[in-house]
């Protein structure tokens, strides 16, 4: 199982390193050190270290007003990038689908064991009704500009997965990743106004173009 997730962990680590470089370039090493300290204390605290938990709480309580926003944004951006890596992993050659290609076969085998006939299974499949609802709720704060950049980050991860890349191609992809992560950092993440019906329609088209056409085969 650890081997299956190694590619995803590697991507998360790489994206986190690139984000750290961006934060250092934008705000200086002091903020990056603060973020790293909180990250390490959080990890130890989650593992049950009570002393580290108290140190974490003290560190958070002592953050100045000027530090609160960049530290919060740093962890938010890291979670965005980690989610991209996880989503890519789920569909990549290293992902769960490739490591367990017999999911449907196993499902039908279990149904057979429970004495469901082919007729019953076929009828249940024929009667399936799947409806897609595309909406942009007013509380949705992620901006489309940021989402488009994260989609391109996903594309870069896919390109890096090619075994036949030469050095200059890999370097170009890494350069583009650095640019995208820097752009994500400098993008205002908070939507200032409620989305209009036209905004909602555009968001729906974005989902169709970037998700459905990729996931649903003709």
Q: Which residues form the catalytic set? A: 137
For residues 84 and 153, the answer to whether their CB atoms sit within 8 Å is yes
For residue 6, give every residue at least 6 positions away whose Cβ sits within 8 Å of its Cβ, in sequence order, or none.
94
**58-83 residues labelled b (16+ CB within 10 A) or e (exposed):** eeeeeeeeeeeebbeebeebbebbbe
DSSP 216: S
Q: How far apart are the C-alpha atoms of 49 and 41, rounded to whole Å?
A: 9
């Amino acid at each position: 199982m650890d081997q299956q997730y190694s590619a995803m962990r590697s991507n998360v680590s790489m994206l986190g390193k690139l984000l750290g470089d961006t934060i250092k370039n934008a705000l200086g090493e002091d903020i990056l050190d603060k973020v790293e300290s909180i990250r390490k204390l959080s990890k130890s605290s989650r593992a049950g270290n009570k002393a580290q938990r108290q140190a974490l709480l003290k560190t958070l309580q002592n953050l100045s007003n000027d530090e609160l926003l960049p530290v919060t944004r740093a962890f938010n951006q890291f979670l965005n990038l980690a989610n991209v890596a996880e989503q890519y992993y789920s569909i990549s050659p290293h992902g769960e689908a490739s490591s367990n290609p017999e999911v449907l076969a196993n499902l039908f085998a279990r149904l057979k064991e429970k004495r469901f006939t082919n007729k019953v299974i076929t009828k249940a499949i024929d009667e399936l009704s799947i409806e897609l609802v595309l909406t942009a709720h007013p509380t949705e704060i992620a901006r489309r500009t940021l989402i488009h950049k994260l989609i391109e980050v996903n594309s870069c991860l896919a390109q890096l997965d090619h075994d036949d890349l030469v050095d200059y191609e890999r370097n170009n992809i890494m350069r583009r990743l650095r640019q995208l992560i820097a752009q994500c950092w400098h993008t205002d993440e908070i939507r200032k106004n409620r989305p209009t019906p036209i905004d909602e329609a555009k968001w729906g088209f974005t989902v169709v173009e970037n998700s459905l056409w990729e996931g649903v085969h003709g």
